[in-house]
């Protein structure tokens, strides 16, 4: 839904607290009453916008990991890029910050989506290298990704450093 995309971009630009329903309506090219017809409150709109973004990310990660004709390393790199890499950079970093800064507004999705991502990564690794170490490798990759994400100034640098981690952890 274009309204939710516009809402997420607006929340990222101004932050949750400073964003008004009027700001989102203007960005989505609809009237404020029209926006209130779709969403009863700013909280509902925020929850829906973030929920949609996380669901789209998970669906894309599932699709990428299902491409069995590609190497596990390449599928993992693309999956981490979708999950975290695309949130590195001026505007996209703000999206991640607004999500991380307002977990109390989001409910369980801030726990279930990352858990689902970890499950998908673990399952993909287990298929290739066996289940014994898959969970530990997946958790280590996620920890490396989080650290790199906070240190990298660009998506390109994030991916470059993540490739090194993948080379060390994934056979």
Q: What is the pLDDT of residues 14-48, one digit of tens each?
A: 888 889 999 999 999 999 999 999 999 998 998 89
Please give the mean pLDDT across all residues of the chain.
89
For the chain, strand residue ranges (E) read none
* Annotated domain spans of the chain: 2-169
Angle between helices 72-83 and 109-129 (to 10 degrees): 170
- CB 45, CB 30: distance < 8 Å: no
Regarding predicted confidence, which is higher, 94 or 112? 112
Q: What is the pLDDT of residue 110?
A: 78
CATH of range 2-169; options 1.10.287.70, 3.40.830.10, 3.40.630.40, 1.10.357.10: 1.10.357.10
Residue 164, pLDDT above cutoff 80: yes
- CB 45, CB 5: distance < 8 Å: no
What is this structure's pTM?
0.85
């Amino acid at each position: 839904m274009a309204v939710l995309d516009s809402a997420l971009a607006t929340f990222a630009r101004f932050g949750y607290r400073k964003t008004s329903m009027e700001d989102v309506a203007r960005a989505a090219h609809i009237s404020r009453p029209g926006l209130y017809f779709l969403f009863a409150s700013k909280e509902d709109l925020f929850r829906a916008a973030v929920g949609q973004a996380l669901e789209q990310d998970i669906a894309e990660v599932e699709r990428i990991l299902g491409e069995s004709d590609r190497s596990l390393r390449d599928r993992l790199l693309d999956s981490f890029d979708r999950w975290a890499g695309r949130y590195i950079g001026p505007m996209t970093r703000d999206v991640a910050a607004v999500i991380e800064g307002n977990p109390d507004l989001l409910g369980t999705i801030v726990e279930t989506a990352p858990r689902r991502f970890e499950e998908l990564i673990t399952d993909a690794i287990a298929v290739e290298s066996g289940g014994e170490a898959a969970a530990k490798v997946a958790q280590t990759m996620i920890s490396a990704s989080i650290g790199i994400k906070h240190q990298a100034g660009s998506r390109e640098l994030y991916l470059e450093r993540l490739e090194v981690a993948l080379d060390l952890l994934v056979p």
